[in-house]
Structure 1
Amino acid sequence: MADQLYLSLWFPNFRFASLPEKLIAVLQQFGKVSGNYRVSVASAIPLGWNESPVFQRIFVLDDRSEPSEESLAQNAVAEATEGLHDDSAYEFEVKWQLWQPVVAGEGLDATWKLEPATVKITGFGPEFDDATFEQNGHIRVDFGLDTPFVQEENDLDEDGKKRLAQNIEILLAFVLSVEKHCGISSRLLWTESGEPLAEKLIARLQRVN
């Protein structure tokens, strides 16, 4: 069954005023791994997840127009956090390319294509949503469903095994890059159901090899 996948990050001696700097650092590591240094959507959300954003900017990132300088991670973070409030969360949507199986028609084999997938990187104020950072981290990365990294519902041929391994490789490259370059004190890669992702990945890789 598909499961939501997260990466929680905590920083030593964390000061809330340093949150924009930490967000930029994580977004830049995402850019190094994915090749995309631009933000698709930047939001500031007050109080809790049930509230509407007090700030939101959607950036046009396609071939029809030249991307604006404001969409670069450091500029998007600066704009969204201009009014930094300890009861708010600051969320940035970015995209990377993951291999996905595409079936052209019934009875046909799947072909694998690189498709954009959204990742949400959120920094939490200490008073947001009853101090949610204690469980979620000072910064949380939401990868969406774990399907691209597990593909439990699909029987994989040799090409599928290769593409699955490449998806896992980019995921782990990002996690390790953050661990190495962002000065974190701890991190946790976890799923919403609580099922350990490492065990899930190992089990899946054993089935396809």
Structure 2
Amino acid sequence: MSTVESEPSSSPPPEPAAPERVPSKQPPIPFIRGEDRVRKMLPQRKLPHCLDHRFVDVRTPNNLPLCWLGVPMNINSVARRAKGQAPSREISRYANEHGFAIPRFNSPPGSDPGVMSMVKTWGNIVEHFYREHGTYIKLKEVWDARTLIIAFFSNREVEDITFGRTRPIRQLLEDLGYGENEPLMWYLDRDEDSFVHESSPDLLHCL
């Protein structure tokens, strides 16, 4: 009879997985009155880390200067309509092709009865895009843009900027006539003109 003992059937428990590394956040840069304005960092395609609350140790994203991801409105777009200029042909075409056009009522005598209300039509486009894709389009006044911008996200909601959310945005911009030379960029909100940087060396990690 064999005296060799058999090995236990149960295997040793696996070693616990190493804890996931959480990147340390940098302290917030002091924003005070001075000569070097934060708006000199923008516009650019990539949001600087010092304006991204995922990389800055702040209690709330609202403590950082407000920035918007978007594109300037094309010349003669809906933003110009209030000045009596012609609406954007691309917006008009897009609205007509997708059934978003809303006719303008109470038009002056002799005007084209088929002319659309750009304000109502644009609002219809915005509402439809929100229902379909969950992103609310806004018109914002920002620094270093000659017109209002079509804004999709702020730096206070960067977690929402995913491939699934940006794909329909890029398709919309393509349908509205935007080319590869007109990319989505980050702009500083116009009301943030009082935010300025303490000194230029503090910007090095932020570029």
Q: TM-score range by the shorter chain?
A: under 0.3
Query: Please, what TM-score do these two structures have when normalized by structure 2?
Result: 0.24
Name the structure where strand makes up a greater proportion of residues: 1
**TM (normalized to structure 1)?**
0.24
Larger Rg: 2
